[in-house]
A and B are shown apart, each in its own frame.
Chain A
Amino acid sequence: SSELTQDPAVSVALGQTVRISCQGDTLRNYYASWYQQKPGQAPVLVIFGKNNRPSGIPDRFSGSSSGNTASLTITGAQAEDEADYYCNSRDSSNNYHVVFGGGTKLTVL
C-alpha cells in the first residue's frame, strides 16, 4: 500500500504564514484532502481537490499540489488554528483503498 508522509510538528508565529506538506507517490495520481483535528474532537475537512474549501472554512486555508507533494497553507495563522492536520487520498496501489498521513501538530506561537 502507498504511504503519505507528513512532518510530525510545525510551528508558526501568530499572524504569519505556514505551509504543511504531505508527500507520497499516490499524490501523483490523486489530490489530497486535508483535515483539522483539535483535541477531543472529530476531524474537520478543510481543503479538498485542487483547492476547495467547504462552507465555513476561512479563506486563510488553501491547498496546492506539485508532483508527489501536497501542501496546506495557512495565511495569517490564528490561535484557533492550533491543531493536528492530516492529509489523505486514495491509494494508487489499490484505487479503492484510502491512505492517511501520520499527521502534523501545528503550534501557533
Chain B
Amino acid sequence: EVQLVESGGGLVQPGRSLRLSCTASGFTFGDYALTWVRQAPGRGLEWVGFIRSKAYGGTTEYAASVKDRFTISRDDSKSIAYLQMNSLKTEDTAVYYCTREVFDYGSGSYPFDYWGQGTLLTVSS
C-alpha cells in the first residue's frame, strides 16, 4: 500500500526556518517525482514545488511565491523528501501536503495519484 506521511509542522515565528519531511512507503521511492502542495486555512490548493527523480536529474522547480526561500530535497535511501522553508512569512501558514506525481503516457498529463494527510504550519508571532 502506497503511503506518504508528512511531519515537522508546528508554530514558528516569522523570519524563522522549519523543515518538513515526507516519509514514503509501499513503492519504489526513487522512481518518482515528489511534489509539495499547500492549502491555507479555508483556501484552495497551491502548488509549492517538486523534485524530479534521480533518473531525471533530481532537479527542482518552485512556485514564484516560495522561490529562493524554500528548498526541496530527497534521500532515496530513506524514502524521504524534505521541504526546507526559510524566511517564513505569515502567508506561508497552511497545511502542507506531499504528493506523488506520475506521468500518464496516454495523455501526457502529470496527475498526483497519492497524497499524504498533511502537516500544519502556522507562522505567527
Contact = CB atoms under 8 A, between A and B. Distances in A.
B118 A35 contact: no
> 3 shortest A-B CB distances, which residue pairs?
A49-B107, A48-B111, A33-B111
A14 to B, nearest CB: 26
B51 to A, nearest CB: 12
Contacts of A89: 109
Interface stretch (B12-20, B40-48, B77-85): B40-48
A7 to B, nearest CB: 13
Contacts of A99: 47
B76 to A, nearest CB: 21
Contacts of A58: none
B32 interface: no
6 contacts: A30-B109, A48-B111, A48-B113, A50-B106, A88-B45, A100-B45
Given A42-B97, A42-B118, A96-B61, A48 B47 contact: no
Interface in B6-59: 35, 37, 44-47, 50
Interface in B61-76: 61, 63-64
A44 B37 CA distance: 13
A66 interface: no
B107 A35 contact: no
A102 B116 CA distance: 20
Contacts of B112: 33, 35, 43, 45, 88
Contacts of B50: 98
A31 B45 contact: no
Interface in A89-104: 89-90, 96-103
Contacts of B44: 86, 100-103
B86 interface: no
A97 B115 contact: no
Interface in A50-76: 50, 52, 54
Interface string B102-125: 001011111111011110000000
Contacts of B110: 33, 90, 98
